[in-house]
Chain A
Amino acid sequence: MMELLEVKNLSKHYKNFDLKDISFTLPKGYIMGYVGANGSGKTTTLNLITGVLKCVEGDVRIDGLSREKGEQAYKEKIGYVGDESYFPDHFKIKHIRNVIKDFYPTFSEDKFNGFIRNWNLPENKLIKDFSRGMKVMLMFASVLARDTKLLVLDEATNGLDPVMRTEILKLLQEYVMDGERSVIFSTHILSDLEQIADYIYFIHRGRTILYDAKDELIENFLLVKGESAKIPPALKKELIGLEEKTYGFEAILPSDKAELLGNAFLFEKPTIDQIVIHYIKSREEQ
């Protein structure tokens, strides 16, 4: 059993929004970035995975187990960190410790206390007086102190300072270190998270746009720049998300079409964000 997370034909219908036919697998020991603009369906997907939303159309399995087969065992496998603290404002750390201990059999008090000490989280303050960064680290502490298989992060590093983000990157890499556990994180900007992601799944308006190993994506595309007037028709057909500005254009081109470029254009290795931006642009134009 190599796959830790299997998502098959996942759909969800709302009045103003459809999530349609999301399918992917995430092998054990790997990290996936689930990328899309705000409102593209990232949180809906993650909520269907964690079981917060009921999965009516499609199928989700974690470590081979579906939610219907055993709700408690399924939830035990998941650690979730969101962009907002889910702890009651009037709680202190000790209250949280007691609640989680009762709720999750695998919760290790020693591990939890270790994280609290390492990250200097204040035992005597109310949660409402925690900074955003402290709240996020507290969520990580409560999740990492349990024996989980899948870490689900919904925009968890939004608004954190670079030092804390770096700390979290290390935590995620440690989490998958034994090759048995996996991470899926959603984000609308990739930046530093891009470095450690093995796979990228990119959705727009509830639809799948790209899904591949990150290294493949970066190799499969070129970022092309140059003078708009010089673009030959054969090349123009292949450019994705052509953005024409006053003094030049920018677009993405599949690497296997590189021979169309000739010498007139500048091309370089794109970042995932650049691929994403031009892909969104091409979809908006259709």
Chain B
Amino acid sequence: MKIIISNQSELPIYAQIREQLKEQILNGQIPEGETLPSIRQLAKEVGVSVITTTRAYSELEAEGFIATMQGKGSVVLPTDNNLLREQYLLRIEEGLSTAIETAKTMGMSKDELTDIFHNLLET
């Protein structure tokens, strides 16, 4: 498990922690069933506030990546296929949205954009 905080990032620190843990859970670097360090342990290791790590963990919990049990700490849940699919879908949509925004900015037509899309698919 690794966490690298950037002070230049536009993402708030809790979101950086959340995203990096999520990434490592999705790609299996942090396996299911693994116990994450406690909120306070992580805050100390990363050198951030307890409120920040608390928020990162509670959002991971809300999204179904981890479960926190009294006295047992936070455990990585099995990433079921639906969750995985949803996460990837979200990323694809984000990527496409960026492309569409850029196309709109330069006034590119719908057809032109779809052409680029199809061409890229073929390569």
Contacts and interface: CB of A to CB of B under 8 A. Distances in A.
Chain A interface, >50% SS class: mixed
A163 to B, nearest CB: 14
A269 interface: yes
B51 A214 contact: yes
A135 B45 CA distance: 27
A170 B46 CA distance: 10
A161 interface: no
Given A29-B40, A177-B40, A269-B10, A169 B51 contact: no
Chain B interface, >50% SS class: helix
A215 interface: yes
Contacts of B50: 29-31, 176, 198
Interface residues of A, number: 22
A25 interface: no
A215 B15 CA distance: 11
Nearest to A166: B47
A138 to B, nearest CB: 24
Nearest to B40: A177
B40 A215 contact: no
B52 interface: yes
Interface of B: 10, 12-14, 40-41, 43-44, 47-52, 55
Interface of A: 29-31, 169-170, 173-174, 176-177, 179, 195-199, 213-215, 218-219, 268-269
